[in-house]
Amino acid sequence: MSSRISLLPDHVANQIAAGEVIQRPGSVVKELLENAVDAGANSIQLIIKDAGKTLTQVIDNGMGMNSTDIRLAFERHATSKIKVAEDLFELSTKGFRGEALASIAAIAHVETHTKTEEDEVSHCLKIEGSKVVEQTISTQPKGTSIAVKRLFYNIPARRNFLKSDTVELRHVIDEFHRVALAHPEIKFTFYNNGSEFFDLPIDSIRKRIASIFGTKWENQLVPVEEKTSLVTLHGYIVKPGFAKKTRGQQFFFVNRRFIKSSFLHHAVSSAFEGLIKPGLFPGYFLYLTVDPKSIDINIHPTKTEVKFEEEQNLYAIIKASVKHSLGVFQVTPSLDFDKDPSMDLPYSYKNKTPNLPPIEVDSSFNPFKGEINRLPKKTDKATQWESLFTESNTDPKIEDKVMPLLNVPQVSRVFQLFSKYIVCPLKSQLLLINQNRAHQRVLYERFLNEITNKKGQSQQLLFSQTLTLHPLQLEHYIRLHDIIDALGFKIKLQGNILEISGAPISCPVEKVTEILETILDDLDEISDSHFSQADQIAKKIAKTLAIRTGEILKQEEQQALIDDFFGCKETAVSPFNRQIFITLDKSEIDKKLNG
């Protein structure tokens, strides 16, 4: 009887394996960079075209390969990094599975040039879809260059699955960051479509972080150091006041390998508890050195997950060290106070019952009854919270505004409530409008309209301002400058510095650079379509410039806001889909008070 089961030909097995290891250009970048690190290079170049879809090339000055090794390197399970199973427990290299090059060569065109110290000549090998098409010799310097072209050329389904260049580039950059942050002792350069993206000299970890994310990061880093028998921990946490709205800068490295661990992340986050607002993420760059025997890296094909032997202890050590650093450096929570008056209290107290002084005269007070009576009465949290605005926190300015209402003339009868709502009495309804959301709506529609019609009005700045961009921001600027111009900015780009001589009329002068930074930061999953770019930018500006909750508005300002707001195309929800106002019908009020 013939067998139903047969061994898959190598090139098919390789394609299947590739599916696990190589999901996108970013995966190629990761594998090639890691091989270059493993080869002992101290200078590594990454060159990509079209987010790596057309070309991903890594050039290193490492140990190179001889004529036999260059062929073996592309065989599956061919590795120079482990020989026997026991070696798995002593890993000091990034790679060990011997799968990456075989996988990449199965689904792309790969051209390798490599030379060892000993060889007189360099070797060149071209492979297309696992087939060797050319092997020659030439005279390249010591080291290895591997160029991967036409990724997924023979698997259209995978190619079609790739996201826009912007999204794929983001993944490439993420992988680059991870390797570059793990190895500040290696010089890295990165070229994207012919322009230099990053040039990272050999440096300290702190400087490396700053050259990747921007110099202003340097002052935001607080060192973390701890040495125990289980782990040596070093690195930095980012000051709480610099916490970001996206997860961007959270890095764990274990024995110089970037890993993802929600468990360890939790340890750090819980140390930050009470110091940053919900919705913001703590930043950290933490390097763990552990005995290779105490971890298993072989639980995931891309090796970004690790199993630790003593997870609970590790958790406790990380949490305690981070807490310690936050304490030692007396990092005070520099919260964004003008966002919400509830933030006037350190966040950790926000949801706790405030200990209000016992101001009421307690007729049943008995001095001999002990402490109990002197404690504030515990009431519903929400009511107490409200009372912070209305009673103990009453701002005389607000009262001034509220009191004359009784005889305000018909034309200006709106007023502000709790410094967060505008109350607007209509004929048979009362409108309660959230001032922050309403203003976001006004600004969003205004800026979107200006971008779309390219008619943003500009104000000339008395003194021009400058903004130094880090490489990612520069890339975003180059891509988005049409939109930025349309808003009314007048900008000249000199190297990586923006010289700003004009800004949109509705942008306060002191907010000019902040707005630009907001526009250029964190454009993660933005699509390439002009509309969604414009939409995202208009939202960002609206969020940054909108009147805050807690801001006290003059009568004219309240009225202007209401007028602008009712001129909007959409009034129900803010650009972020939050309800803007509620109504109270006269009939409802009558039912309750007059019925």
3-state DSSP assignment of residue 149:
strand
DSSP string, 510-552: GGHHHHHHHHHS---S--S-HHHHHHHHHHHHHHHHSPPTT--
Least CB distance to Mg ion at residue 461 (A): 52
Give the residue nearest to Mg ion (CB). Answer: 95
- Which segment (10-18, 27-35, 62-70, 108-116) binds Mg ion by CB under 5 A? 27-35
The residue (of 36 and 326) whose beta carbon lies closer to Mg ion is 36
Token pair of 213, please? Answer: 């994310």
In 315-428, which ranges are E strands?
Answer: 415-417, 421-425
Nearest distance, CB of residue 482 and ligand ADP, angstroms: 40
The partner residues of 422 in beta bridges, in order of sequence, read 416, 433
> Smallest distance, Å, CB 115 to ligand ADP?
10
Q: How many CA atoms lie within 13 A of 337 on its CB side?
A: 5
Rounded least distance, CB 95 to Mg ion, Å = 3
Nearest distance from C-beta of residue 351 to Mg ion, angstroms: 49
Q: Can you tell me which of 15, 35, 166, 435 binds ligand ADP, judged by CB under 6 A?
A: 35
Indicate the residue among 37 and 500 with the shorter CB distance to Mg ion. 37
DSSP for residue 93: S
Q: Of 325, 314, 296, 295, which Cα lies nearest the Cα of 228?
A: 314
Point out which residues pair with 110 in neighbouring strands. Answer: 127, 148
3-state helix, strand, coil in the chain (%, to 5): 40, 20, 35
The smaller minimum CB distance to ligand ADP, of residues 105 and 472, is found at 105
- Residue 99 touches which of Mg ion, ligand ADP, none (Cβ within 5-8 Å per kind): ligand ADP
Nearer to Mg ion, 97 or 113 (CB): 97
Query: If we measure between CA atoms, which residue out of 47, 333, 96 comes closest to residue 195?
Result: 47
Query: Token digits for 587?
Result: 């009939």
What is the contact mask toward ligand ADP in residues 36 to 65, using x (rule: CB under 6 A)?
x-xx--------------------x-xxxx
Q: Which of residues 29-58 bind Mg ion (CB under 5 A)?
A: 35
Three-state DSSP class for residue 65: coil
Whichever of 97 and 170 has its CB closer to Mg ion, that residue is 97
Please, which of residues 108-147 interact with ligand ADP by CB under 6 A? 144
- To Mg ion, the closest distance from the beta carbon of 142 in angstroms equals 19
Instruction: Write out the binding residues for Mg ion, residues 77-106 only, by CB under 5 A.
Output: 95, 100
- The H or E element spanning position 111 is strand 109-115
Nearest approach in angstroms of CB 105 to ligand ADP is: 9
Nearest-approach distance from CB 339 to Mg ion, in angstroms: 46
Decide which of Mg ion, ligand ADP, none touches 73; Cβ closer than 5 to 8 Å per partner kind: ligand ADP
Q: Which CB sits closer to ligand ADP, 165 or 175?
A: 175
Q: Look up residue 319 and give its two tokens.
A: 């949490």
Cβ proximity to ligand ADP: between 44 and 519 the closer is: 44
- What would the two tokens of residue 465 be? 């301002």
Q: Residue 285 burial (CB < 10 Å; 0-12/13-18/19+)?
A: buried
Q: Which 76-115 residues touch ligand ADP, going by CB under 6 A?
A: 78-81, 95-102
CB of 112 to ligand ADP, least distance (A): 8
Tell the smallest beta-carbon distance from residue 191 to ligand ADP (Å). 18
DSSP H/E element including 264: helix 262-271
Query: 46: alpha, beta or left, given left = phi > 0 and alpha = psi -120 to 50?
Result: beta
Residue 35 or 440 having the CB closest to Mg ion: 35
Residue 72 in tokens: 């073996």
Pick the closest to residue 261 from 277, 246, 250 (CA basis).
250
- Least CB distance to ligand ADP at residue 535 (A): 42
Angle, alpha carbons 169-173-179 (nearest 5°): 150
Q: Rounded to whole angstroms, how far apart are CA atoms 207 and 209?
A: 5
Q: Does residue 31 belong to the site contacting ligand ADP (CB under 6 A)?
A: yes
- The only residue of 47, 48, 73, 545 in contact with ligand ADP, by rule CB under 6 A: 73
Q: Are 489 and 206 in contact (CB under 8 A)?
A: no
Residue list 371-400, contact with Mg ion (CB under 5 A): none
Indicate the residue among 58 and 448 with the shorter CB distance to ligand ADP: 58
Task: Calculate the alpha carbon distances from 479 to 199, 387, 491, 523 in Å.
Answer: 20, 49, 14, 11
Nearer to Mg ion, 100 or 224 (CB): 100
Q: Residue with the closest Cβ to ligand ADP?
A: 95
Is residue 109 within 8 A of residue 128, CB to CB? The reply is yes
- Residue 165's binding partner among Mg ion, ligand ADP, none (Cβ under 5 to 8 angstroms by kind) is none
Residue 82 CB, nearest distance to ligand ADP (Å)?
A: 8
- Residue closer to ligand ADP by CB (options 17, 526) is 17
Q: Which is nearer to ligand ADP, 61 or 574 (CB)?
A: 61
Count of residues that bind ligand ADP according to CB under 6 A: 24
**Distance between CA atoms of residues 242 and 335, nearest Å:** 9
Interface ranges with ligand ADP (CB under 6 A): 31, 35-36, 38-39, 60, 62-65, 73, 78-81, 95-102, 144
Residues at the contact surface with Mg ion, assessed by CB under 5 A: 35, 95, 100
